[in-house]
Amino acid sequence: MIGDYQYYFAALKRLVDDCPLIIPGGSTINYDNVALEAGRKKGAIRRERKGLSALRQAIDDAAEEQRARITPQNRFKKANDMADKYKALWEQSLGRELCLARQIRELQNEIRSLEKRIPLRVIK
């Protein structure tokens, strides 16, 4: 029976390893996500289907394991890492903005100096 549903087990393994092909990485492990990762529709893994009891048990075990791995400290560390990443991106964009502002100021000064040498005439 397990051979018939090998694609579900392969999808579950990809989700456990956090390298899914179809759904986004870091997704929670549940019946619907395993079905989607296996290329099936949501709800394809249902409790009333008799042949999927081993698969359901494996999904439940993997989901429990995933919940145990996500502790408040891990979530806090991940949030801090994200904050540091976005702070670095903000500082980089601020540096680009300042560089462009300086370049604009230099170009405006160059235009003023050229206007002093050769006055521009306005044609009406």
What is the average pLDDT value for the chain, to the nearest integer?
88
Rounded to 5 degrees, φ, ψ at 66 are -65, -40
Q: Would the CA dihedral through 6, 7, 12, 13 be positive or negative?
A: positive
Parse the chain into domains and list their residue ranges.
Answer: 2-69, 71-124
Site of tokens 């990809």? 14
Comparing 11-15, 43-47, 60-64, 92-96, the range with the smallest average pLDDT is 43-47
Task: Give pTM, 2 decimals.
Answer: 0.57
Site of tokens 């009333």? 48
pLDDT, mean of residues 30-46: 91
> pLDDT of 49-90, one tens digit each?
777 888 999 999 999 998 888 778 888 888 999 999 999 999
